Chain A
């Protein structure tokens, strides 16, 4: 059987790697800014435990999370009924922010904004086009999320 000649097929295949699209909240710059806002707008003394940041981060990721945390804060939902997702990407963002001198660690498990970090956070917080829904949410949560509640959310171990 003779093969039909199709010259177009007589070329080697070439595969080209294309850059990947990634979810916007995985951009380091975006998340670093978000961490600054969490400490600035929703933490006592611009200071928070690592676990507490994870709770805020989990809540901010989706509408379900946002409603769940608000429900808990209003006492309509029992802390034991939700599962807080720990996201390694938050750790990385905090590490970067630390490297940039925007925040520092105190007493092991706590994080606090440096004065440079606070100035930056203020700038982002006051920029009316940035982090619109996130800022609204963080303002709603305010300083109501206590470390004790965070402890309850993670299973109540002291």
Chain B
């Protein structure tokens, strides 16, 4: 990746201003006094690359100084900014060039980047162009997302990484660029580059270094990720089967017990899963219950079916009892039905309310998007002014009571989401109640229907011929057979599902095996060579730049965290401020130089804004300049922006190969009218 040309254009009420920076290969030194607009140029580069997430969490306000937004110092006074645009020409490893164009202030949406396919700044001419969006979700994944386009153009094959939420996403380029682009605001404050954290990427520094150095660790990490995903799939399937097992038990009025609720590797488990069935006050295993039924059936089948005349007395008493029970149960049933209807209505009511809230929420969110989108639709209404008479209007289309205010959109969304949460909780609760009631109803209906059957057969017995067989006795036999069949089927289904669990357990076991075979730390032999080389380059430079706080020989780069270590621990915080800066120089330039001997993904570009922080001695800065000046012969590009005194700088640069670009006064200055 090479920067070729930066162009900034600012249209003000006092005419056109701007700057053109033609970058060259090798060392490029940009000099201007403090607060004259150097950093503005470097930030403009980041913004033109859609990298604003490196500098700000705001999605609407670009991290650009006011000079491009509202107020520009002309040298003689101030000018108001009307429109401002940034253009940046870059080149990829194939030598193809594009120009990105972003509007900071003006009619165009700042969430769009226009890409011209060709060197439009250095060789103006006819080039095709397209617009891409940036700064919104999907800018790295969707076809029209600018960052997706950018990484494709640069040929970056960024890895997929895991987030703290457990999902996966591409390693965003905003987390990679800080390793070769140090901006002044935050870049010099931490030993490891400050990476945006709100993407929620796990171990984001490690992932970025692994990518830049092209470590095998990233492949091993990916394998680990894949195993974890398969584990998740097994866990899901497992819980589905457990649900099915429970359902089989429930359908037979029982309870499934001893089922491991999360995957295990040994199968069958020590304690075997069973269905327990209630019998009077006890729970007995299903197979035991089936055995009882079978025994009872065998017992009565051996007797002859009793004749009606033999059992008339008993049957009359039983009939009386059964009828009493039936009346009682029916009364309960009708009360229960009433309650059930009522509760079901409540659920429907809550559902309706939830639907309404959802629609309203969507409309409010639309309005928020419209507001964020900016642009020029209804601009006075947005400012709550009547477009015709310019008097204040409420943010509402219906008249309000005198003095009554309206919630802001954000308040209103929070308010609705709060309501939604409450109603969702109520809804879940109500549904549970109704489900439980439904079960109660079903079992009561079963009971009533059984009682009716019993009464019917008792009555039939009583009115039939005295010599005929007892209908009640026949009914018992039929019921026993039915029960036996039903339990038999349940046992079969249960065993079938258990077999499926067994298969999953085997898969789980082999997965655990694969997991233990992965190397403990993810690095390979080559990886360790690359990191070792990085450590050598780090120490070499620290000596060169006159690092004094610690024994240089004890400083290494960790092959676990890729951080710089002293005697195996993170560098102490009490090293001197200027040594702190020397470590950052050596660490980041070292990372670039590893790419000279090994195959890495480093773009061979290094940008430092004000590298001479904390008054590091002239001597060390001179050494740094000499070191990076080799970038030219190495085929790399190093860009330094500095406010170093011109005479000192000239002396330091001496005869090392470099391009020097200096500004007297303001960098962004008046241009001849177009």
A interface, CB within 8 angstroms of B: 17, 19-33, 36, 88-89, 92-93, 95-97, 99-102, 116, 120, 123-124, 127, 129-133
Decide if B407 is an interface residue (CB 8 Å cutoff). yes
Q: Type the 1/0 row for B351-376, where 1 means its CB is closer than 8 Å to any CB of A.
A: 00000000111111011011101011
B interface, CB within 8 angstroms of A: 359-364, 366-367, 369-371, 373, 375-382, 386-388, 393, 395-398, 400, 403-409, 411-412, 415-416
CB pair A130–B378 under 8 Å, yes or no, is no
Instruction: Tell me the complex Cα distance, A27–B410, Å.
Output: 13
Residues of B within 8 A of A120 (CB): 375-377
Residues of A within 8 A of B416 (CB): 21
Among B360, B369, B397, the residue within 8 A (CB) of A31 is B397
Contact of A17 with B378 at beta-carbon distance under 8 Å, contacts A30-B367, A30-B370, A93-B397 already known:
no
Say how far A123's CB is from chain B's closest CB, in angstroms.
7
Instruction: Tell me the complex Cα distance, A26–B360, Å.
Output: 10
Contact of A19 with B377 at beta-carbon distance under 8 Å, contacts A26-B398, A30-B363 already known:
no
CB pair B363–A27 under 8 Å, yes or no, is yes
Q: List 5 A-B contacts (CB under 8 A).
A: A21-B411, A22-B395, A28-B396, A30-B370, A95-B388
CB pair A28–B363 under 8 Å, yes or no, is no
Instruction: Tell me the complex Cα distance, A22–B401, Å.
Output: 13
Residues of A within 8 A of B362 (CB): 24, 132-133
Residues of A within 8 A of B369 (CB): 127, 129-130
Say how far A114's CB is from chain B's closest CB, in angstroms.
12
Residues of A within 8 A of B375 (CB): 120, 123
Among B379, B396, B400, the residue within 8 A (CB) of A100 is B379
Say how far B86's CB is from chain A's closest CB, in angstroms.
22
Residues of A within 8 A of B395 (CB): 22, 27-28
CB pair B398–A22 under 8 Å, yes or no, is yes
Residue of A nearest to B412 (CB): A21
CB pair B363–A24 under 8 Å, yes or no, is yes
Instruction: Tell me the complex Cα distance, A22–B388, Å.
Output: 24
Known: A28-B381, A31-B397. 16 other contacts (CB 8 A): A19-B411, A23-B363, A24-B361, A24-B362, A26-B396, A27-B363, A27-B395, A29-B381, A30-B363, A33-B377, A89-B397, A99-B386, A100-B377, A100-B378, A120-B375, A120-B377
CB pair A20–B364 under 8 Å, yes or no, is no
Instruction: Tell me the complex Cα distance, A129–B409, Å.
Output: 17
Say how far A67's CB is from chain B's closest CB, in angstroms.
15
Say how far B421's CB is from chain A's closest CB, in angstroms.
15
Among B366, B382, B393, B409, the residue within 8 A (CB) of A130 is B366
CB pair B367–A24 under 8 Å, yes or no, is yes
Say how far B106's CB is from chain A's closest CB, in angstroms.
15
Residue of B nearest to A28 (CB): B381
CB pair B381–A22 under 8 Å, yes or no, is no
Instruction: Tell me the complex Cα distance, A26–B386, Å.
Output: 16
Residue of B nearest to A24 (CB): B363
Residue of B nearest to A96 (CB): B381
Among A20, A27, A116, A127, the residue within 8 A (CB) of B409 is A27
CB pair A92–B407 under 8 Å, yes or no, is no
Contact of A17 with B403 at beta-carbon distance under 8 Å, contacts A28-B395, A89-B398 already known:
yes
CB pair B370–A33 under 8 Å, yes or no, is yes
CB pair B415–A21 under 8 Å, yes or no, is yes
CB pair A127–B400 under 8 Å, yes or no, is no
Residues of A within 8 A of B377 (CB): 29, 32-33, 36, 100, 102, 120, 123-124
Residues of A within 8 A of B380 (CB): 99-100
Say how far A41's CB is from chain B's closest CB, in angstroms.
15
CB pair A27–B386 under 8 Å, yes or no, is no
Task: With a 10 A CB-CB cut-off, give which of A20, A26, A124 has the most chain B CB atoms.
Answer: A20
CB pair A29–B404 under 8 Å, yes or no, is no
Residues of A within 8 A of B403 (CB): 17
Residues of A within 8 A of B378 (CB): 28-29, 32-33, 96-97, 100, 102
Say how far B210's CB is from chain A's closest CB, in angstroms.
34
Instruction: Tell me the complex Cα distance, A27–B115, Å.
Output: 36
Say how far A80's CB is from chain B's closest CB, in angstroms.
29
Say how far A133's CB is from chain B's closest CB, in angstroms.
7
CB pair B364–A27 under 8 Å, yes or no, is yes
CB pair B406–A22 under 8 Å, yes or no, is yes
Instruction: Tell me the complex Cα distance, A17–B388, Å.
Output: 30
Instruction: Tell me the complex Cα distance, A27–B409, Å.
Output: 9
CB pair A29–B370 under 8 Å, yes or no, is yes
CB pair A28–B393 under 8 Å, yes or no, is yes
Contact of A96 with B387 at beta-carbon distance under 8 Å, contacts A21-B415, A31-B397, A129-B369 already known:
yes
Residues of B within 8 A of A127 (CB): 369, 373
Say how far B431's CB is from chain A's closest CB, in angstroms.
22
CB pair A29–B367 under 8 Å, yes or no, is yes
CB pair B366–A28 under 8 Å, yes or no, is no
Residues of B within 8 A of A20 (CB): 400, 404-407
CB pair A23–B360 under 8 Å, yes or no, is yes
Residue of B nearest to A121 (CB): B377
CB pair B404–A17 under 8 Å, yes or no, is yes
Residues of B within 8 A of A29 (CB): 367, 370-371, 377-378, 381-382
Residue of A nearest to B416 (CB): A21
Task: With a 10 A CB-CB cut-off, give which of A27, A36, A92 has the most chain B CB atoms.
Answer: A27
CB pair B366–A99 under 8 Å, yes or no, is no
Say how far A59's CB is from chain B's closest CB, in angstroms.
14
Contact of A30 with B407 at beta-carbon distance under 8 Å, contacts A100-B379, A102-B377, A123-B375 already known:
no
Instruction: Tell me the complex Cα distance, A102–B379, Å.
Output: 11
Task: With a 10 A CB-CB cut-off, give which of A29, A116, A133 has the most chain B CB atoms.
Answer: A29
Instruction: Tell me the complex Cα distance, A32–B366, Å.
Output: 12
Residues of B within 8 A of A33 (CB): 366, 370, 377-378
Instruction: Tell me the complex Cα distance, A97–B386, Å.
Output: 10
Contact of A19 with B360 at beta-carbon distance under 8 Å, contacts A30-B367, A129-B369 already known:
no
Say how far B358's CB is from chain A's closest CB, in angstroms.
10
Residues of A within 8 A of B393 (CB): 28
Instruction: Tell me the complex Cα distance, A123–B359, Å.
Output: 22
Residue of A nearest to B144 (CB): A128
Instruction: Tell me the complex Cα distance, A24–B362, Å.
Output: 8
Instruction: Tell me the complex Cα distance, A95–B381, Å.
Output: 11
Say how far A23's CB is from chain B's closest CB, in angstroms.
6
Residue of B nearest to A23 (CB): B360
Residue of A nearest to B142 (CB): A128
Residues of A within 8 A of B366 (CB): 24, 30, 33, 130-131
Instruction: Tell me the complex Cα distance, A84–B445, Å.
Output: 48
Residue of B nearest to A87 (CB): B397
Residues of B within 8 A of A130 (CB): 366, 369-370
Say how far A7's CB is from chain B's closest CB, in angstroms.
33
Residue of B nearest to A91 (CB): B397
CB pair A92–B397 under 8 Å, yes or no, is yes
Residues of B within 8 A of A25 (CB): 360, 363
Instruction: Tell me the complex Cα distance, A116–B367, Å.
Output: 20
Instruction: Tell me the complex Cα distance, A101–B393, Å.
Output: 18
Say how far B110's CB is from chain A's closest CB, in angstroms.
14
Contact of A27 with B360 at beta-carbon distance under 8 Å, contacts A20-B406, A100-B378 already known:
no
Task: With a 10 A CB-CB cut-off, give which of A22, A24, A25, A96 has the most chain B CB atoms.
Answer: A24
CB pair A21–B407 under 8 Å, yes or no, is yes
